[in-house]
Amino acid sequence: MVLVLVLSMLAFDVSCTQAFLENGNRIKSRTFLSPEFIMGPGSVESKTYYDIDFPRGHIALKSFNAEVVDQAGNPVPLFETYFHHWLVGKYYEHRPSDRNFTRNSGLCQGQILGQYFGLGSETRKTATDIPDPFGIEIGNPAEIPEGYQEKWYLDVHAIETRGVEDRLGCIECRCDLYNVTNDEDGNPIKPDYKGGLQCCYGETRSVIPVEIFTLDVTDTGKRLHGLTGISPENGCQVEYAVESCTATNAAGNGCVDIKRNNLTMPTGGYVIYAVAHQHVGGIGSTLYGQDGNIICTSKPIYGNGNEAGNEDGYIVGMSTCYPEPGSVKITAGENLTLESNYNSTNNHTGVMGLFYLHIAKQAPHMTFSHPPVQMHESIKGTTYAWSIVVFIGLAVTIAVAVHSWLKEKERRWLQPSS
């Protein structure tokens, strides 16, 4: 989804007389767009864009409004993309490494709250008109240091709340939902700080809930009314036996016991994590989609030592699958095939063929630190990427400056009377 934050301004040329202003002359409009940024459910965008397209010349702004729209021009609701705030500020630049930031006339220290314009979720229904004959002067050559240019920056703080577990907690930047202990600069967050900007800076992500599915290769598919325990006629049997292979089987499949079962998923979503559970003798398990492609293959890791965690002959781990979020989708009602393989050189009793799946209704656009082992290669011939490409647009109605320098009487008119 392409989003645009449209910032609308009204302005007039400060060289205009009151008659010009009253007649509505020298009023023009333009639209500016910022660079794109990508968001996914639960993600946070907190970024400053420098040297944005902005009205040039010696003008006075009369209003500054905003709207968030998608690529079709439709307003984007706050319950999907919550705009915590947008800020527009001014600085003078000699070169990128030499910037002098200016600020409004407020009382805060340094550059704290130094923006010239900025609102948040209240943007759409907040009036910003400045009554005549007043205006916010920008582009005054007398105020720009010699050798510098006046430039503007845009700061955007947006929170994507589709599919999150606690929407209010996310937009209030509760630290426990973002799972952070350090602020954006790497400084530890104080224990009594429960939520705010320190916890939801750029690249952080609010919690997106997952459903946990435990699949059993012994599941009969039957559910007898009133029976919840294990019986031969009722559902998951949990365990099974592996008979030793005969000479004929050994020649045919190398003494591998293959147990398969078809399972129907009641709900769908995106696979975030998958792993199998097997006992000694297990040689791997694979979950297939209805299209026959591999969702995940999980193989046992056998120990070969005497120390804890590496016990010889025991399964001490299973390989896991972390597909790129959004790349592996299971649909509601999809028929999956679960396959559990054991070495059948010897008999095995009480073995298991379980498979754990973590599925999210929404998938953020992100890269996990864990490499995927095997994943669904295709779902209905396509890959789904749930990301949001966002543009910030500046729609500006301005007056083009005609004169570079003000006459003395015009400068007196702009200044407040004593």
pLDDT in tens, 291-301: 999 999 999 99
**Would residue 238 count as lying in a domain?**
yes
Mean pLDDT for the stretch of residues 71-79: 82
Residue 231 has what pLDDT?
A: 73
Residue 361 has what pLDDT?
A: 84
DSSP lists the bridge partners of residue 233 as none
Residue 327 has what pLDDT?
A: 92
* 130 and 243 both lie in a single domain: no
Residue 64 has what pLDDT?
A: 77
* 12 and 146 both lie in a single domain: yes
pLDDT at 23 over 80: no
102-106, 236-240, 411-415: least confident range: 411-415
Mean pLDDT for the stretch of residues 397-413: 31
Per-residue confidence at 406, pLDDT binned at 50, 70, 90? very low
- Preceding amide of 133 cis, omega within 30: yes
> What DSSP element (H or E) covers 409?
helix 408-414
Mean pLDDT comparison of 41-50, 193-202, 205-214, highest-scoring range: 193-202
Residue 12 structure tokens: 């007039």
Residue 196 has what pLDDT?
A: 94
97-106, 198-207, 262-271, 280-289: least confident range: 198-207
pLDDT at 320 over 90: yes
Residue 153 has what pLDDT?
A: 93
CATH number at residue 277: 2.60.120.230
**Would residue 181 count as lying in a domain?**
no
**Would residue 365 count as lying in a domain?**
no
* 336 and 409 both lie in a single domain: no
Q: What is the CA radius of gyration of the chain?
A: 31
Per-residue confidence at 3, pLDDT binned at 50, 70, 90? low
Amino acid at 17: T
* 306 and 410 both lie in a single domain: no
Instruction: Provide the whole-model pTM.
Output: 0.63
Per-residue confidence at 325, pLDDT binned at 50, 70, 90? confident
pLDDT at 418 over 80: no
Mean pLDDT comparison of 26-30, 108-112, 282-286, highest-scoring range: 282-286
**Would residue 336 count as lying in a domain?**
yes
Count CB atoms within 10 A of the CB of residue 43: 26
pLDDT at 179 over 70: yes
Instruction: Give residues with Cβ within 8 angstroms of 125, minimum separation 6.
Output: none
Mean pLDDT for the stretch of residues 250-263: 85
**Would residue 172 count as lying in a domain?**
no
Per-residue confidence at 123, pLDDT binned at 50, 70, 90? confident
* 137 and 226 both lie in a single domain: no
**Would residue 178 count as lying in a domain?**
no
139-148, 182-191, 199-208: least confident range: 199-208
Strands 37-39 and 294-298: unpaired
* 219 and 337 both lie in a single domain: yes
Strand order in the sheet with 256-264: 256-264, 335-343, 282-288, 294-298
* 119 and 215 both lie in a single domain: no
**Would residue 375 count as lying in a domain?**
no
C-beta of residue 336 within 8 angstroms of C-beta of residue 288: yes
Mean pLDDT for the stretch of residues 255-272: 94
* 90 and 155 both lie in a single domain: yes
305-318 b/e (C-beta count within 10 Å ≥ 16 → b): eeeeeeeeeebbeb
Domain count for the chain:
2
Per-residue confidence at 205, pLDDT binned at 50, 70, 90? confident
* 120 and 221 both lie in a single domain: no
Mean pLDDT for the stretch of residues 229-252: 79
Residue 250 has what pLDDT?
A: 65
Any idea of the CA torsion for 224, 230, 232, 238, to the nearest 10 degrees?
120
* 298 and 401 both lie in a single domain: no
Q: What is the mean pLDDT of the chain?
A: 79
Domain that holds residue 282: 210-360
Which tops the pLDDT comparison, 353 or 251?
353
**Would residue 281 count as lying in a domain?**
yes
